[in-house]
Amino acid sequence: MRLLLVEDDPTLRDQLRAGLQEAGYAVDAADDGRDAHHLGDTEAYDAVVLDLGLPLLDGLSVLRRWRDAGRAMPVLVLTARDNWSEKVAGIDAGADDYLTKPFHMEELLARLRGLIRRAAGQASPVLRCGELALDTRSGRVTLAGQAVTLTSHEYKVLDYLMHRPGAVVSRSELTEHIYAQDFDRDSNTIEVFVGRLRKKLPPGLIETVRGQGYRLAVV
């Protein structure tokens, strides 16, 4: 999953980026509202963490512009302590959730997992497909209760597919959602990850839809 992190405080931004990357997210970061707006308008994100007090263009305006343009990705806004009116304004501008500074990384991660699974129409933190289960909280994958060991890229591909059972996902969509913007992307590597995943999973679970992409079988 790929996130946009918008925060102008360099210390907090670096800290958050490191925490999010450690949790397995591909992260693009912006430090002003104009950059943030452009990235959110043109790139594919599974969720956005948006500070409201930003240079050049404030966070509320950024959010309103995205929503006016039909950009529907989940957005979590970061608000100042005890500023209830900022929370109301954020939610009314189209935010899906908020966190008050200062906050614990664990809480941010839990809220993001919730937003991402809800956006994909998933209510449970444990995604299941037949005997295969992926726990989004621990990053643990099991097959009939037995642990399946995956590399971080294999996990990212499976995580994305398991959020969308039955949907056809193209290689370019997978590429966009597992790599950050500055990464040297090559959609051929997706084929390699899928090939390796298939060897670890029951046959037929990841279907190839000719000319379109991959689909997780609904079992």
Binding site for Ca ion (CB under 5 A): 8, 51, 53
Shortest gap between Cβ of 56 and Ca ion (angstroms)? 12
Nearer of residues 36 and 174 to Ca ion, judged by Cβ: 36
Q: Which residue is nearest to Ca ion (CB)?
A: 53
Compute the least distance from the CB of residue 101 to Ca ion, in Å.
9
Rounded distance between C-alpha atoms, residue 204 and residue 141, angstroms: 18
Contact 101, 90 (CB under 8 A): no
DSSP 72-99: ---EEEEE-TT-HHHHHHHHHTT-SEEE
Q: Least distance to Ca ion from the beta carbon of 9, Å?
A: 6
> Distance between CA atoms of 56 and 84, rounded to whole angstroms?
24
Separation of alpha carbons 173 and 209, rounded Å: 14
Nearest CB to Ca ion, comparing residues 64 and 140? 64
Closest contact distance (angstroms) between CB of 7 and Ca ion is: 7
Which residue's CB is nearer to Ca ion, number 56 or number 143? 56
Alpha carbon distance 114, 106 (integer Å): 12
User: What angle is formed at CA 100 by the lines to CA 97 and CA 104, rounded to 5 degrees?
Assistant: 95
Rank residues 103 and 140 by Cβ distance to Ca ion and give the closer one: 103
